[in-house]
Structure 1
């Protein structure tokens, strides 16, 4: 009986607590947003939950409040939540609902951006790779297969997040439909399909669209709030939005850029805060709401970086650091830009409102040089292969990210040009396990001259997926690996064997007894370092070549000596007092074996 009474009491308390959640209204006024009927100016900053360790989400929220933000914005990333078709994941660092709830606990509203296309310098613009394995499927279109997969996805997102809208007692103020669609196309029917899907998924609050100034006409859907990206002149903002909203406010800058992102081989981007403080002041004084992109960039870990590609420029894969020269640096510490923006925001607080103190910088540590203790070359850890007459793409192999080794046998004793047609994206070429060249899509290098030894020789082409394009029409041309054919001395090479290295579980790759002696082959090295205390730190990879690092099982992202990024950020939350494990996959300098860590990042060093 006591257990029954306890159960009834607990059930009553949970139901009563749920029923007492305060529901809010969030509506469009004549010139401003209305929260519970009162004017409300959104001062928001973008933070992406996968770019910050879950253990640090709350710290970043506190920093947002300390700068004066009352709202945060985030995309929702389809390729994280449905990495393989029909297999959804909202756990761990993918727990977007928990991210939103923590924001509420820290006194922040949320703007949600669950459009299946996010751009965001993110792999394939947020689309899962497997969409390309569906024959005839076309993203960002009315093609039926795409809409069917999109609907299943957005319904799963709705289950997680629709109950967290303000009109259901949560803190999600409004939800964005699609993302800068006007820069891509102008199909209003497609946009309306998006809107209907969102509503059917449970997003029954305020919906909006956002586009750069020249593209608002294409991307705006009548009946939804239009927002502008990249414009901060108050008069221009109001004039442009008035054209598409019948002269009725409120006015919202959905992406206000205080700086920019980086890509491999190009200088690190920084913009002095002084160039933006006056603009921020003017926008807030005009009563315009704002979402700064980014407030905190964080890190694009694993294989989630995207790439840009334009007809007039080469392929530009983005680096792992998403520091963005934002108000919070990559590790989440306040910068000078943070303090100057805070001072501007303080001028526009309501009477009597006082900002929290700025939290102290996080502790940092250095780690003395230590040696990696075990090493295996790539050719000694080959997985089971797949045979095919023609080379298969990553998508054909049902491999999402990482690397694929393409192997074949050809007759030697001749000289000729080797060309990999439509290489995507970076490759090492080996003859009899000896490296003979490097190919690089960034610089349109897809061929090299080979002088083959006599007899039958083994040709290996080790290909890296450096990130699918995340913006523009080339979204539709995003397959990876050898995507056409390989030609030597004018003839197509056939009969290939392919070995996949997705590297989704580095601990599963154990050192094996060396069968092939290949000192120039990519290597997987492992080691241990001990710590007496933990703190944020930065692995200094300046003397290494190109590769990936894991610490305690966490993929920290990519390094490449060409820069501008030379360090990999290691969050203190992922380190332990005592033993810590590290693994490094190195492509270009497999002889390297010494690692060190420093207390500051190096994000602005290019090598020749």
Structure 2
């Protein structure tokens, strides 16, 4: 009996010790020149990843890859519009489970720098702000507007429930939290910045807070008394001088966004950043004792309709592609690149004595699937919902619609010059069901000559939201659809039937066999569906080169957009979303018709710009 009691006591003591170890907190603080963890210098070698851009089944794999390259920290944005798509309804499940993302990082021995500022930029729709903030056209985001601050505060309160317990001050692995993002590129209101600080503190974020800005914008964007990190600066001496200037003459020194890659816009070449040159810069930064977060370490994919767009006073509207490969060390599918291996070699030089890196996992297997039959279809104009009747065109936000498409229909009595004022963003124009042209905000094309219009002709304008602006001065001017008026030879066109086509899912769409479709599809957009069986699954890439412009659903997942102009010509399909057995694919195309098959490739095509007449 005595022996049993002794054994039981030992077990309880061991369990108690393990529990204490799990709850043990670390002390993370700012030293004069370095970060300090439990009183010892910590150089953060961090890489950015976003849970919303990576299938949740792959989070752990990507973090193991981060460890294999030598990273000790993960940097990550949190996208408000992913967690509160509809006002007051919060979603932290599935791919939105940011707490699980952080916990997996801790299990893999990684610290986290959390960037939950409601404004993220990140080539993400509206910079992370939810679309419904635009329903009230008087609301001004990224300001002290009470309506904006009320929504912002409520969201941070919900986010805090997920993340506050995971801070290093509570036994977790979140070292510090960013309260705004590159605010100096937008404005310079220090009282607004301090309001951000107050919102985070009152929500329970009690650890280290920081800001980040580009080198030329830090004076406007930083909050005195809090760590200012710099984005995009690579010269160690300049990094230290800049942060010293804005932080009481001391560090720590942190490059919150270092760019070993870059993002892509539709119609432009795929970004390339030299691996050799980047490795040299990384070596110099680490050798100077500066902490760094490489943006991106692994970009992943911007799926659904969540890509953003850039636009500045001297630069036209430019939407980003769905692939967020970013020419990063870990490619879109999570495979190590030459850049990964070169960075790993540099980081290994700066590791503490006796520390070794894990082996690099092998590249993931891929497959090619040939000639998937698209044997049923649904013509878009043949299954329109009930219209909204309005004298003037209404925006997406007026229609309570977030993303996708809106069809505007009216009747014309004559030919002339058709103009859509302030089109946002892309439109296909039809007369009596025949496509007669397209309009494109990207190239400032907002008008079209209609030389031959029958009497009492039906005019259809199918408008696509190509992505709300995520960066720059037009952030607050982001309502979509036809935002002003349609005119014919300068006279306003009125009396519209307006049809919502959000394509949030494909419920309700009825598909018929391909028989007879040629007579209809020549002039109208449609959904094309096919089924196929697999006995083996692996990563693959849909080949979209024979298609025009649209999006793809696979087994219920919206994989993202394609556009014949490139440079992205494939869509990444993660193996985890394929089934052994039956699979279903649906392709929407608004520019080409008559599709009968689709195939996949074993490798991506991300750098093929097409000339389209």
Identify whether the pair has TM-score above 0.5, normalized to the shorter chain: yes
1:594 deviates by: 1.4
Equivalent-residue separation in structure 1 for 2:149 and 2:490 (angstroms): 43
1:476 deviates by: 1.1
Equivalent-residue separation in structure 2 for 1:246 and 1:254 (angstroms): 19
1:448 deviates by: 0.7
Aligned to 1:157: 159
536, 548, 551: which one pairs with 1:545?
548
Does 2:216 correspond to 1:214? yes
Deviation string, structure 1 residues 176-198 (Cα, Å, up to 9, x no partner): 01100011111110000000100
Aligned to 1:6: none
Equivalent-residue separation in structure 2 for 1:580 and 1:201 (angstroms): 44
State how 1:304-383 maps to structure 2 within 5 Å.
304-383=306-385
1:135 deviates by: 4.2
274, 293, 298: which one pairs with 2:300?
298
1:17 deviates by: 3.6
Aligned to 1:82: 84
Aligned to 1:561: 564
- Say if 1:546 and 1:454 are closer, same or farther in 2 by CA, change over 3 A: closer
> Residues 424 and 464 of structure 1 are in contact (CA less than 8 Å); yes or no, is this contact kept in structure 2?
yes
TM-score scaled by length of structure 2: 0.95
Aligned to 1:444: 444
Aligned to 1:587: 590
Q: For structure 2, which runs of at least 5 residues remain unmatched after alignment?
A: 1-10
Deviation string, structure 1 residues 370-423 (Cα, Å, up to 9, x no partner): 210111111111112111111100000010000000011222xx3210000100
Aligned to 2:184: 182
Deviation string, structure 1 residues 406-454 (Cα, Å, up to 9, x no partner): 011222xx32100001000100001111111111111111111113443
> Residues 307 and 470 of structure 1 are in contact (CA less than 8 Å); yes or no, is this contact kept in structure 2?
yes
Equivalent-residue separation in structure 1 for 2:294 and 2:21 (angstroms): 35
> Residues 521 and 594 of structure 2 are in contact (CA less than 8 Å); yes or no, is this contact kept in structure 1?
no
Aligned to 1:493: 493
Deviation string, structure 1 residues 108-166 (Cα, Å, up to 9, x no partner): 00000000000000000000000011242111111111111110011111111011000
Secondary structure of 2:92's aligned partner: coil
559, 577, 580: which one pairs with 1:577?
580
Secondary structure of 2:470's aligned partner: coil
Aligned-pair Cα RMSD in Å: 1.7
Aligned to 2:389: 387
Aligned to 2:289: 287
Aligned to 2:522: 519
Q: Please, which moves more after superposition, 434-443 or 504-513?
A: 504-513
1:517 deviates by: 3.9
1:508 deviates by: 3.2
- The number of aligned residues is 596
Equivalent-residue separation in structure 2 for 1:584 and 1:227 (angstroms): 43
Aligned to 1:228: 230
1:455 deviates by: 2.6
> Residues 429 and 460 of structure 1 are in contact (CA less than 8 Å); yes or no, is this contact kept in structure 2?
yes
Equivalent-residue separation in structure 2 for 1:182 and 1:586 (angstroms): 40
Equivalent-residue separation in structure 1 for 2:139 and 2:415 (angstroms): 42
Secondary structure of 1:473's aligned partner: coil
TM-score scaled by length of structure 1: 0.96
> Residues 378 and 509 of structure 2 are in contact (CA less than 8 Å); yes or no, is this contact kept in structure 1?
no
Equivalent-residue separation in structure 2 for 1:449 and 1:391 (angstroms): 20
> Residues 49 and 99 of structure 1 are in contact (CA less than 8 Å); yes or no, is this contact kept in structure 2?
yes
